[in-house]
A and B are shown apart, each in its own frame.
Chain A
Amino acid sequence: MFWPFLLPALLLYVVFFIAPSLASLWISFTKWDGVGEMRSRGIENYKILLGDSAFLGAFGYTLLILVVVGAATFVVSFALTMVLRDMKGKAIVRAVMFFPYIVAPVVLSVFWGFMFSSDGLVNNAWHAVLGGTGPNWMANHLSAIIMLGLTWVNTGFYTTIIMAGVDRIPPDLYEDCSLAGATAWQRFRYVTLPLSWDVVATAAVLWTISSLKIFEFIYAFGGTTNDMPPLSVWNSALFIYGSTFGGRVPQYQFGYASAAAVVMLAAVTVLVVLLRRLLRREAVQF
Chain B
Amino acid sequence: MGSRSARTDTGPVRRVGIVAVWLLVAFNIGVLLWMLLAALREHTAIFREPWGLSSLGRFGNFVKAWSDSHFGQAALNTVVLVVASSVVVVAVSAPASYVLAKTKTRISGAMAVFFALGIGIPVQVIVIPLFVMMQDAGLVNSLGGLFVLYVALSVPFTVFLLIGFFGSLPEEIEEAAAIDGAGALRTFVQIVLPVARNGLITALILNLISLWNETFIALVFIQDSGKQTLSLALLGFLQTQQYSGSDYGALFAGVSILVLPMLALYVWLGRRIIEGLTVGAVK
Chain A residues near B (Cβ < 8 Å): 1-2, 4-10, 12-13, 15-21, 23-24, 27, 34, 79-80, 82-84, 86-87, 90-104, 106-108, 111, 114, 120-121, 156-157, 160-161, 164-165, 167-168, 170, 174-175, 178-179, 183-184, 187, 196-199, 201-203, 205-206, 209-210, 212-213, 215, 224-226, 236-237, 240-241, 244-245, 254, 257-258, 261, 264-265, 268-269, 272-273, 276
Q: Which residues of A contact B163 (CB under 8 A)?
A: 202
Do A17 and B99 form a contact, CB below 8 Å, given A203-B164, A209-B117, A268-B120? no
Do A210 and B119 form a contact, CB below 8 Å, given A16-B152, A82-B17? yes
Assess whether A91 is in contact with B271, with CB atoms less than 8 Å apart: yes
Asked if B128 is an interface residue, CB under 8 A from chain A, the answer is: yes
Stretch at the interface among B30-38, B62-70, B221-229: B30-38
Chain B residues near A (Cβ < 8 Å): 2-3, 5-7, 9-10, 13-14, 17-18, 20-22, 24-25, 28-29, 31-32, 34-35, 50-51, 92-93, 95-100, 103, 108, 111, 113, 115-122, 124-126, 128-130, 133, 148-149, 151-153, 155-157, 159-161, 163-165, 167-168, 184-185, 188, 198-199, 202, 206, 209, 213, 231, 234-235, 238-239, 241-242, 252, 255, 258-259, 262-263, 266-267, 270-271, 273-274, 277, 281-283
Residue B25 contacts which of A79, A93, A175 (CB distance < 8 angstroms)?
A93
Residue B122 contacts which of A27, A108, A160, A237 (CB distance < 8 angstroms)?
A237
Q: Which residues of A contact B239 (CB under 8 A)?
A: 225-226
Residue A254 contacts which of B31, B98, B128, B270 (CB distance < 8 angstroms)?
B128
Assess whether A6 is in contact with B119, with CB atoms less than 8 Å apart: no
Residue B270 contacts which of A98, A121, A198 (CB distance < 8 angstroms)?
A98
Q: Which residues of A contact B277 (CB under 8 A)?
A: 167-168
Residue B99 contacts which of A5, A201, A273 (CB distance < 8 angstroms)?
A5
Specify the main secondary structure of chain A where it touches its partner.
helix
Q: For the A-B complex with A111-B34, A264-B120 known, give 19 more contacts whose Cβ atoms are closer than 8 Å.
A: A1-B99, A1-B188, A5-B188, A6-B99, A9-B92, A13-B115, A17-B118, A82-B17, A91-B270, A93-B22, A95-B270, A102-B266, A160-B202, A161-B161, A170-B283, A202-B161, A206-B157, A209-B117, A254-B128
Do A198 and B168 form a contact, CB below 8 Å, given A6-B96, A240-B122, A261-B122? yes
Smallest CB–CB gap between A165 and chain B, Å?
6
Assess whether A8 is in contact with B96, with CB atoms less than 8 Å apart: yes
Assess whether A104 is in contact with B213, with CB atoms less than 8 Å apart: yes
Assess whether A206 is in contact with B155, with CB atoms less than 8 Å apart: no
Show 29 A/B contacts (Cβ-Cβ < 8 Å), sorted by A. Answer: A1-B99, A1-B184, A2-B108, A5-B98, A5-B99, A6-B111, A9-B95, A10-B111, A13-B115, A13-B118, A16-B153, A23-B129, A83-B18, A91-B270, A93-B21, A95-B270, A97-B28, A99-B31, A100-B28, A156-B28, A161-B161, A168-B277, A175-B2, A178-B5, A184-B10, A187-B6, A202-B161, A224-B241, A276-B113
Assess whether A86 is in contact with B6, with CB atoms less than 8 Å apart: yes
Smallest CB–CB gap between B81 and chain A, Å?
16
Q: Which residues of B contact A174 (CB under 8 A)?
A: 6
Assess whether B209 is in contact with A198, with CB atoms less than 8 Å apart: no
Smallest CB–CB gap between A86 and chain B, Å?
7
